[in-house]
Structure formats: C-alpha cells, structure tokens
Amino acid sequence: MRAFFLAPVLAFALAAAACTPAAEAPSSEAEAPAGRLEIRDAWAAPTPGGVTVSAGYLTIVNAASEADRLVSVASPRAGRVEVHEMVMSGDVMQMRPAASLEIAAGAEVDLAPGGLHLMFYEITAPFAEGEDVPVTLTFERAGAVDVSLPVRRPATESSHGAH
C-alpha cells in the first residue's frame, strides 16, 4: 500500500544493502544499559530534501536466559515508528511491517540495511547527519529501553567485499 510513497527510501535501503559492510564502524557500547538487553550499532539515515520518512538500524543482543520480544517502538522525532522486514514479491524486494520481533535467549537480532529495519514516519524535523535521534524500544520483559541513533550515511565506502 505504501510501496509508492516509500519508493525513494526503499531504493536507498537497497542501495545500501548491495554492499553490506563487513565491519561497521565500532559505535559506542552500552548505549542502553537495559540489564539483559544490549543495543549496539544503532544509527539512522539522514533525510535530505524534505523527505518525511527514514530508516533506523541497530543490533539487539539478548544476554538473558529467556526470550524477549520487541512490542513497540517510539520516537519524539516521528509520528510513528514501525519495524519492517524486506520480502521478495515476485522479482521485487518490498518492505512490510514485521511480525512481532522475538529475540531468543542468547541471540542477537540485526536490523540492518536490506533486512529488518525501523521505519520512521511523519518526521517533523529532518534527520541531519551528526545529530542523535532518541528512540524508545519497548520489550515484553525488559520494558522500555532508550537508545540514541546517530544520524549518518551507510558505511558502504570503506569495506567492499567481493563485488
């Protein structure tokens, strides 16, 4: 339904996916001391030219002995935030809201270009490179986890693999 509206963002995500960096720039650890859950490598894409949607990425590490589940995401910078996944529809990769995201005990889930991602809608002020976008992830067990997503471009330049 939103495929047309989101086409520029999708193209951006796919372009980023084409060269997934093998080694992300190490971001600050322990951004969200949430006990059993650790959020790593969080970042959000800038929104040039009046775009009012953006994508965010992060890795959720569940160090607990029980599974947890991401139940909602919110940000004061966006009207709403959804978790999306990429799926093939015929020959076309499309995004759609993901089913409730479960993080198994001891597992980590990557939200990364080309796959799962956060989708920001109704952005009121542009995401500018260098600033941080505050996001609250709410988990079934761990509760609310606040995390800052630095706004930056995808790190595709530095570490191309076998292309």
Phi, psi of 125 (to 5 degrees): -120, 140
Looking at the Cβ atoms of 34 and 58, the one nearer to Cu ion is 58
Binding of residue 84 to Cu ion (CB under 5 A)? yes
- Label residue 11 exposed, middle or buried (CB < 10 Å: 0-12, 13-18, 19+): exposed
Taking contact as CB under 5 A, which single stretch among the options 27-35, 100-108, 112-120, 121-129 is the one that binds Cu ion?
Answer: 112-120
- Strand-pairing partners, residue 148, are 134
Shortest CB 162 distance to Cu ion, Å: 27
The answer to whether residues 160 and 119 touch, using CB atoms and an 8 Å cutoff, is: no
Among 32, 37, 83, 119, binds Cu ion (CB under 5 A): 119
Shortest CB 64 distance to Cu ion, Å: 28
Looking at the Cβ atoms of 111 and 142, the one nearer to Cu ion is 111
CA torsion, ordered 103, 23, 97, 75, to nearest 10 deg? 90
Binding of residue 95 to Cu ion (CB under 5 A)? yes
Looking at the Cβ atoms of 52 and 141, the one nearer to Cu ion is 52
- Strand-pairing partners, residue 86, are 95
DSSP at 33? -
The residue number whose beta carbon is nearest to Cu ion equals 84
